[in-house]
C-alpha cells in the first residue's frame, strides 16, 4: 500500500465535528504543513486534543482565530492570547488537564484502558465534577482516557512502510497519539526505502500509521 498522500488529501479526511489529536509542544514537533492545508479546507466545529492550541497566527492558532475550533483539550493555552479571548467570549470550550494526566490519558486510550485514577489535581477546580475515590488514605480522581477520530503527528523520518523516527524534543506527544486514533497521518521530513531504518531507532511501528505527508517549507 502506498501511504504517501498530499497535505490537501490529508486535510480532506477531516470532517466538521471531528475530534482530532495534534502532536507538538508549542510549534515544536507540530505537523504544520498539514495544518496549513486544514486551514484552507474550511472544516469547522473541531474538537482538538493538543498540549496547546498553537500561537497567534501560527499552527492551530489560525483555526482558533477563525472560530473553527469548538473545544480544546490540553494543558497550556495561555501562550496564545487568541485562545484566552475566545474562551472569555464563550466562543471556545476548554478542558484543562495537567500535562502528565493529558499524556497518560492519551496513552491509556491507545492501550484500551477506559479510565484511570490519579491524585493530580484532586480538590481543585480542574477536577470539579469528576469521580473521587480514597485509596490508602489519599484522594484520587477518575480520569477518562482520550481517543480521537484522526491523529495528525510529526516525525523526522519514515520508511515507505510508515515506520517512524523522531528527533530531539519533537518526540513529545506524537508517539502516543499514533496509538490512540482511528486514522493516523504522519507528516515527515524525509522518506527512505524500506529496510533503511534500524529497528532500534524506530519508535512508532508502521502498523499504527495510515498515511504519510511530506513536510513543505512555509512560503512567506
- The string of pLDDT tens digits covering residues 79-120 is 899 999 999 999 999 999 999 999 999 999 999 999 999 999
**Considering the chain, what percentage of its residues have pLDDT values greater than 70?**
99
In a domain, 11, yes or no: yes
In a domain, 192, yes or no: yes
Measured over all CA atoms, what is the biggest interatomic distance in the chain, rounded to whole angstroms?
A: 57
Which domain does 19 fall in, by range? Answer: 7-214
pLDDT in tens, 197-212: 999 999 999 999 999 9
- pLDDT in the model for residue 2: 86
What cell numbers appear for 54 in the block? 498553537
Write the DSSP assignment of 23-67 as a string of letters. Answer: --BTTBT--HHHHHHHHHH---SEEEESSS--BTTBTHHHHHHTT
Helix (H) or strand (E) holding 134: strand 132-135
In a domain, 204, yes or no: yes
β-strand pairing of 132-135 with 164-165 = unpaired
In a domain, 2, yes or no: no
* Whole-number Å distance between alpha carbons of 199 and 88: 48
Which residues of the chain are under the pLDDT cut of 70?
1, 219-220
In a domain, 220, yes or no: no
Return the ∠ at Cα 180 (arms to 178 and 184), rounded to 5°. 45
* Whole-number Å distance between alpha carbons of 62 and 56: 7
The residue assigned the cell 470539579 is: 128
Residue 38, phi then psi, degrees to nearest 5? -65, -35
CATH number assigned to the domain comprising residue 140: 3.40.1080.10
With contact defined as beta carbons under 8 Å apart, do 150 and 182 qualify?
A: yes
22: CB partners within 8 A, 6+ apart:
30, 31, 35, 48, 49, 50, 60, 151, 152, 153, 177
Q: Which residues of 18-28 are buried (b: 16+ CB within 10 A; e: fewer)?
A: bbbbbbbbbee
What's the whole-model pTM score?
0.94
- Domain total in the chain: 1
Amino acid at each position: 500500500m502506498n501511504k504517501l498522500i498530499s497535505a490537501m488529501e490529508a486535510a480532506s479526511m477531516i470532517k466538521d465535528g471531528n475530534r482530532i489529536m495534534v502532536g507538538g509542544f508549542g510549534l515544536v514537533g507540530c505537523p504544520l504543513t498539514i495544518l496549513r492545508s486544514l486551514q484552507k479546507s474550511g472544516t469547522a466545529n473541531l474538537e482538538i486534543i493538543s498540549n496547546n492550541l498553537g500561537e497567534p497566527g501560527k499552527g492551530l492558532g489560525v483555526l482558533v482565530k477563525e472560530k473553527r475550533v469548538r473545544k480544546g483539550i490540553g494543558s497550556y493555552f495561555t501562550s496564545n492570547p487568541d485562545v484566552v479571548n475566545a474562551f472569555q467570549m464563550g466562543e471556545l470550550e476548554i478542558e484543562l488537564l495537567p500535562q502528565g494526566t493529558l499524556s497518560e490519558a492519551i496513552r491509556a486510550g491507545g492501550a484500551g484502558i477506559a479510565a484511570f485514577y490519579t491524585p493530580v489535581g484532586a480538590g481543585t477546580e480542574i477536577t470539579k465534577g469528576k469521580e473521587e475515590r480514597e485509596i490508602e488514605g489519599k484522594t484520587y480522581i477518575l480520569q477518562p482516557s482520550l481517543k480521537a477520530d484522526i491523529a495528525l503527528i510529526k516525525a523526522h523520518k519514515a520508511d515507505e512502510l510508515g515506520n517512524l523516527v523522531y528527533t530531539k524534543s519533537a518526540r513529545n506527544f506524537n508517539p502516543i497519539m499514533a496509538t490512540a486514533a482511528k486514522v493516523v497521518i504522519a507528516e515527515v521530513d524525509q522518506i527512505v526505502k524500506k529496510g533503511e531504518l534500524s529497528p532500534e531507532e524506530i519508535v512508532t511501528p508502521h502498523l499504527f500509521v495510515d498515511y504519510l505527508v511530506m513536510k513543505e517549507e512555509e512560503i512567506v
